[in-house]
Amino acid sequence: MQQIPTIAELRERLAMAGTVAFVPTMGNLHEGHIDLVRQARAHADCVVVSIFVNPLQFGPSEDFDKYPRTLDADCAKLEGLADVVFAPAVNEMYPQQQTIFVEPPPIANELCGAARPGHFRGMATVVLKLLNIVRPQVALFGKKDFQQLHIIRQMVAQLNLPIHIIGGETVRAVDGLALSSRNQYLSVAERAEATFLRQTLSNVRQSILDGAKDYAKVEAAAVAALAGHGWPVEYVSVRNRETLIQAGRADRKLVVLAAARLGVTRLIDNLEIDI
Ligand code: PAF
């Protein structure tokens, strides 16, 4: 496996590499990322993983500075799984001030976007840059960031990028907590409590499978349950899985998404529901 810091070297390395499957990450890799990298192998001759903590997608009061940077440990985990790790410095990705951005669709202002203005614009912009740099045939993203995956699929479709996007299933700890780099911010007590988010989403799913159709009521009950456990809740929302628009009675393919805080840590999760 080769670690490459510059775009020029990466392009040279990939020139004769055959087909490329790409897993963009911000590093601090866990089994969720590794699962995507393993899947990538089945899709192309060469597997590229990028590790880049993208300043453009963090708000001024967010955790950009303290976001865990663990490049050596990440590369050790990727040994034997990836062919190339592209780990550029900020100056390599943004040699001049970025004044051109991807304008994501209005859904980017809802759900996570409501509390994180500009997040999806910064995310989509760096993903487009990375896709242009790596030029893969296939790119893989985790379904845990369901809204992110939706926006990337829209970007790829609407900008006619010749790339097949694959969504990887959320990888969970044995107690159900979705793996996330931010889980390490949790105290021991918070880590034990953190499973309540998934449990609450499972309860939402069960209510809907049992026939509940008043989704606003189901969402309100989930918010109250989390608040009752001391979680400040950003949202719990039942959406159409394809459009991410508020689910209506006729929708059969749903997803319930949630974001809530536990202490200083913001956790997100989602569950798909087929009725
Ligand atoms: O999901 C992430 O880790 C990031 O948002 C991504 C897609 C690598 C873009 O910076």
Kindly report the protein residue whose alpha carbon is nearest to atom 1 of ligand 1.
Answer: 25
Q: Which CATH superfamily is domain 2-168 in?
A: HUPs (3.40.50.620)
> Pairing relation of β-strands 253-262 and 265-274?
antiparallel
Contact indicator for 109, 253 with CB cutoff of 8 Å: no
pLDDT at 166: 98
Contact indicator for 198, 269 with CB cutoff of 8 Å: yes
pLDDT tens-digit map of 53-78: 999 999 999 999 999 999 999 999 99
The CA 24 to ligand 1 mean position distance, Å, reads: 6
Q: CA 202, CA 189: separation in Å to the nearest integer? A: 21
Parts of the chain belonging to CATH 3.30.1300.10: 181-274
pLDDT at 240: 98
CATH number of 181-274: 3.30.1300.10
CB distance 50 to ligand 1 below 6 Å: no
33 carries an active-site annotation = yes
Residue with tokens 């409590």: 193
pLDDT tens-digit map of 133-159: 999 999 999 999 999 999 999 999 999
pLDDT at 171: 98
Q: CA 158, CA 53: separation in Å to the nearest integer? A: 26
Atom of ligand 1 nearest to the CA of 127: 9
Parts of the chain belonging to CATH 3.40.50.620: 2-168
Listed in sequence order, the residues at least 6 apart from 136 whose beta carbon sits closer than 8 Å to its beta carbon are: 20, 21, 22, 44, 48, 163
Quick one: pLDDT band at residue 33, thresholds 50, 70, 90?
Answer: very high
Q: What is the 3-state secondary structure (H, E, C) of 197-216?
A: HHHHHHHHHHHHHCCCCCHH
Atom of ligand 1 nearest to the CA of 54: 10
Contact indicator for 239, 149 with CB cutoff of 8 Å: no
Contact indicator for 229, 193 with CB cutoff of 8 Å: yes
pLDDT at 273: 98
pLDDT at 90: 98
pLDDT at 22: 99
CB distance 24 to ligand 1 below 6 Å: yes
- The one catalytic residue in 33, 43, 119, 150 is 33
The CA 132 to ligand 1 mean position distance, Å, reads: 15
